[in-house]
Amino acid sequence: MDIQSIRAFLKVYETGSFSRAADALFITQPAVSKRIATLEQSLDAHLFDRIGKTVQLTEAGLALLPSYQRILEEITESQRIISNLRETTSGQLKLATSHHIGLHRLPPVLKQFSRKYPEVALELQFMDSEQATQLVLQGEIELGIITLPSQADKRLSLRRVWSDPMHCVVASDHPLATGRKITQKQLLNEPAILPSSGTYTRALINTALVTTEDINILMETNYLETIKAMVKIGLGWGVIPDSMMDDSLTTLPLKNIKMTRELGVVLHSARTCSSPANALLDLLN
């Protein structure tokens, strides 16, 4: 039994003729006969009597008619629902983002999204990129808009949206803010205010500052705004994105050291994106 056979059964009943059913279905009469025969074989029951030029339902056919009509109605309704999903964007979208991206990158995108898709209920959570990655992996949220890891679980799909150059900085009145090139040894002698160990951003910094010496950590925090504030008052050096630079900070001219992190979207590879998720991804591209 398949849907095409059910359609053929109902069309023969409606038209009272195999030939008229074939015309309505845009197939040949032998094809209709074959579908009815397949249906009868699967049910082990005779569904139509051919009396002269008329076709009538048997007792078995009459018994099956209401069920097959409901099945076809439900299929039609399902197709309508899917069609509406393609044409309209509504429902709920659960996503997470880091505080930095939520403050400095997402606002114009979310403003455009909410205006374009007012029927979507956004559930936005702020958290560390590492936590967002785990929630996507566990299926608890659909999207994470985060600092992307350099290596990720194979079950995840990463989409880069922004490149985020980062700089070693000090306060403009800091002793290292002379404009002359400094060595890593000079840098590491100074107290540092950096993102916490175990974060994607800290891993990037550690990779860039390849050294056998320990970094002189004064403070660790995952809030880049806090790092900037502590550096500005002269407590030490830090690493912040280019987008947060201002005249109160001086970039340290370190030789052969460049840091750029990638910001973007993390999704579960096995999860089919909802229409709201696809709409947001389109705006982020």
**Per-residue model confidence (pLDDT) at position 218:** 95
In a domain, 92, yes or no: no
Strand-pair category, 259-268 with 143-147: antiparallel
Check residue 188 and give its pLDDT: 87
> What local confidence, expressed as pLDDT, does residue 182 receive?
85
Q: Give the number of other Cβ atoms within 10 Å of residue 85's Cβ.
A: 13
Return the CATH number at 83. 1.10.10.10
Could you read off the pLDDT of 23-81 as tens digits, one per residue? 989 899 999 999 999 999 999 999 999 887 789 999 999 999 999 999 988 887 787 77
Q: Specify whether 55 is located in the same domain as 146.
A: no
Residues 69 and 185 reside in one and the same domain: no
Do 118 and 75 have their domain in common?
no
From 35, 67, 87, the end of a domain falls on 87
Q: What is the mean pLDDT of residues 247-270?
A: 91
Q: Is residue 247 part of a domain?
A: yes
Regarding whether 139 and 274 lie in a shared domain, the answer is yes
- pLDDT average, residue stretch 98-108: 94
Instruction: Please give the residue that has the higher pLDDT: either 146 or 186.
Output: 146
Instruction: Identify whether residues 187 and 243 lie together within a single domain.
Output: yes
How many folded domains does the chain comprise?
3
Angle, vertex CA 86, rays to CA 84 and CA 88, nearest 5: 60
Q: Are 17 and 157 contained in the same domain?
A: no
d(CA 82, CA 90): 12
CB 117 within 8 A of CB 279: yes
CATH number of residue 234's parent domain: 3.40.190.290
Report yes or no on 63 lying in a domain: yes
- The pTM (predicted TM-score) of the whole model is 0.71
Contact 126, 104 (CB under 8 A): no
177 with 255, same domain: the answer is yes
Whether residue 94 has pLDDT greater than 80: yes
Q: Of 120, 149, 164, nearest to 276 (Cα)?
A: 120
Q: What is the mean pLDDT of residues 239-247?
A: 92
Considering the domain architecture, whether residues 16 and 58 belong to the same structural domain is answered as yes
> Given this model, what pLDDT does residue 87 score?
65
Task: Report which DSSP code applies to 242.
Answer: G
CATH number of the domain that 129 lies in? 3.40.190.10
Mean pLDDT of the chain: 90
**Residue 26 structural domain:** 3-87
Q: What is the pLDDT of residues 154-185, one digit of tens each?
A: 999 999 999 999 999 999 999 989 878 888 88
At residue 257, the pLDDT reads: 84
